[in-house]
Structure 1
Amino acid sequence: MYKNPRIGGFPRDRRLCYFAPAMRFHAFVVLASLVLCLSLPLRAAESSVDPFAPYLTGRPPEILRDVPDNSPPPEGVSVRRVVFRSRENAEIFAVIVTPKTAGPHPGMLVLHGGGGSAEIDKAIAWGQRGYVAVAPDLPGIANPQKLTETKGRWNTMKYGEGRYVASPDATASLLFDAVLSAMQSLYLLRVQPDVDTKRIGVVGISWGGYMTTMVCGLAGDQVRAGFAIFGCGFYELTSQQPTLLKMPLEERERWLRDLDAGRRAPGIKAVFFTAGAANDFFFWPPAVQATLDAIPGTKNHLFAPNANHKVPLPGGTVFPKASSDPFVPTPFQPFPTPSGSKANWLAMEVPYFDYYLNGKGQPLPVVTVEKENNPLSARFDIASPRPIAKVEVYWSLPGDWMKRNWQALPISKLSDDRFEVSFPTEAAEGADWFVVASDDRPVTVSSDFMHIGKPAKTPEHPAP
Structure 2
Amino acid sequence: MILADEPLAKPRDTVHVGDELSARAKLSRAALDSVPEIFPAESLQVEGVKAFFYRGLDHKRQPTRVFAYYGVPALDESKRHGKLPAMVLIHGGGGTAFDRWVKVWNARGYAAIAMDLCGCVPVGAYGKWERHDHPGPRGWDASFEQLADPIEDQWTFQAVSAVKLAHSLIRSYPEVDADRIGVTGISWGGYLTCIVAGTDPRYQFAVPVYGCGFLGKNSAWLPAFEKLGAEQAKLWLSQWDPSVYLPQVKMPMLWVNGTNDFAYPMDSWQKSTRLSQGTNELCLRVRMPHGHGPAGEDPEEIHVFANSKLRDGKPLALITDQGLDGDSAWATFKSDVPIIKAELNYTLDTGRWQERKWEQMPVAFDGSTGRVSSPIPGGTTVCYFNLFDDRQCAVSSSHLER
Q: TM-score range by the shorter chain?
A: 0.7 to 0.9
Distance 1:215 1:351 in 2: 21
What TM-score, normalized by structure 1, do the two folds share? 0.72
What TM-score, normalized by structure 2, do the two folds share? 0.82
Instruction: Write the letter of the residue equivalent to 2:334.
Output: A
Q: Could you say which residue in structure 2 is the equivalent of 1:26?
A: none
Q: Could you say which residue in structure 2 is the equivalent of 1:60?
A: 35
Contact 2:183 2:205 in 1 (8 A): yes
- Going from structure 1 to structure 2, the CA distance change for 1:160 and 1:358 (only over 3 Å counts) comes to same
Percent of residue pairs identical? 25
Contact 2:181 2:310 in 1 (8 A): yes
Deviation at 1:69, TM superposition (A): 4.7
Deviation at 1:201, TM superposition (A): 0.6
Please state if 1:233 is matched with 2:213: yes
Q: Could you say which residue in structure 1 is the equivalent of 2:157?
A: 176
Secondary structure, counterpart of 1:235 in structure 2: coil
Contact 1:79 1:95 in 2 (8 A): yes
Distance 1:264 1:82 in 2: 28
Q: Could you say which residue in structure 2 is the equivalent of 1:90?
A: 64
Contact 1:210 1:232 in 2 (8 A): yes
Q: Could you say which residue in structure 2 is the equivalent of 1:353?
A: 306
**Cα deviation 1:85-130 (Å, max 9, x = unaligned):** 3323122111222345344111210111110100212112323433
**Cα deviation 1:156-191 (Å, max 9, x = unaligned):** x69842345423554453232222211211111221
Please state if 1:398 is matched with 2:350: yes
Contact 1:170 1:255 in 2 (8 A): no
**Cα deviation 1:370-408 (Å, max 9, x = unaligned):** 34452x222212311111122111111212222211122
Contact 1:140 1:160 in 2 (8 A): no
Of residues 184, 192, 203 in structure 2, which corresponds to 1:223? 203
Distance 1:363 1:414 in 2: 19
Contact 2:342 2:364 in 1 (8 A): no
Please state if 1:447 is matched with 2:400: no
- Going from structure 1 to structure 2, the CA distance change for 1:223 and 1:192 (only over 3 Å counts) comes to same
- Going from structure 1 to structure 2, the CA distance change for 1:381 and 1:124 (only over 3 Å counts) comes to same
Of residues 252, 269, 272 in structure 2, which corresponds to 1:271? 252
Distance 1:141 1:230 in 2: 23
Distance 2:235 2:214 in 1: 13
Stretch of structure 1 that moved more, 280-289 or 382-391: 382-391
- Going from structure 1 to structure 2, the CA distance change for 1:259 and 1:140 (only over 3 Å counts) comes to farther
Stretch of structure 1 that moved more, 380-389 or 99-108: 99-108
- Going from structure 1 to structure 2, the CA distance change for 1:442 and 1:258 (only over 3 Å counts) comes to same
Secondary structure, counterpart of 1:245 in structure 2: helix
Stretch of structure 1 that moved more, 384-393 or 122-131: 122-131
Instruction: Write the letter of the residue equivalent to 1:91.
Output: R
Q: Could you say which residue in structure 2 is the equivalent of 1:186?
A: 167
Q: Could you say which residue in structure 2 is the equivalent of 1:136?
A: 115
Secondary structure, counterpart of 1:52 in structure 2: helix
* Equivalent residues in 2 for 1:384-423, closer than 5 Å: 384-396=335-347, 397-409=349-361, 411-413=363-365, 416=368, 417-423=370-376
Distance 1:283 1:141 in 2: 25
Stretch of structure 1 that moved more, 178-187 or 136-145: 136-145
Q: Could you say which residue in structure 1 is the equivalent of 2:6?
A: none
- Going from structure 1 to structure 2, the CA distance change for 1:66 and 1:389 (only over 3 Å counts) comes to same
Contact 1:111 1:119 in 2 (8 A): no
Q: Could you say which residue in structure 2 is the equivalent of 1:304?
A: 285
Structure 1 runs of 4+ aligned residues shifted over 6 Å read: 140-144
Please state if 1:379 is matched with 2:337: no
- Going from structure 1 to structure 2, the CA distance change for 1:134 and 1:71 (only over 3 Å counts) comes to closer
- Going from structure 1 to structure 2, the CA distance change for 1:70 and 1:272 (only over 3 Å counts) comes to closer
Distance 2:173 2:367 in 1: 49
Distance 1:297 1:159 in 2: 27
Deviation at 1:145, TM superposition (A): 3.5
Instruction: Write the letter of the residue equivalent to 2:34.
Output: R
- Going from structure 1 to structure 2, the CA distance change for 1:122 and 1:349 (only over 3 Å counts) comes to same
Q: Could you say which residue in structure 1 is the equivalent of 2:12?
A: none
Which structure has more relative contact order (CA 8 Å, sep 6+)? It is 1
Instruction: Write the letter of the residue equivalent to 1:84.
Output: R
- Going from structure 1 to structure 2, the CA distance change for 1:406 and 1:95 (only over 3 Å counts) comes to same
Q: Which protein is richer in strand relative to its size?
A: 2
**Cα deviation 1:275-306 (Å, max 9, x = unaligned):** 11110100001111111100111120111223
Instruction: Write the letter of the residue equivalent to 2:379.
Output: E
Instruction: Write the letter of the residue equivalent to 1:349.
Output: I
Deviation at 1:448, TM superposition (A): 0.6
Instruction: Write the letter of the residue equivalent to 2:385.
Output: V
Contact 2:188 2:211 in 1 (8 A): yes
Of residues 311, 316, 319 in structure 2, which corresponds to 1:364? 316
Q: Could you say which residue in structure 2 is the equivalent of 1:213?
A: 194
**Cα deviation 1:305-332 (Å, max 9, x = unaligned):** 234427xxxxxx9xxxxxxxxxxxxxxx
* Gapped regions of structure 1 (runs ≥ 5): 1-44, 311-316, 318-339, 453-464
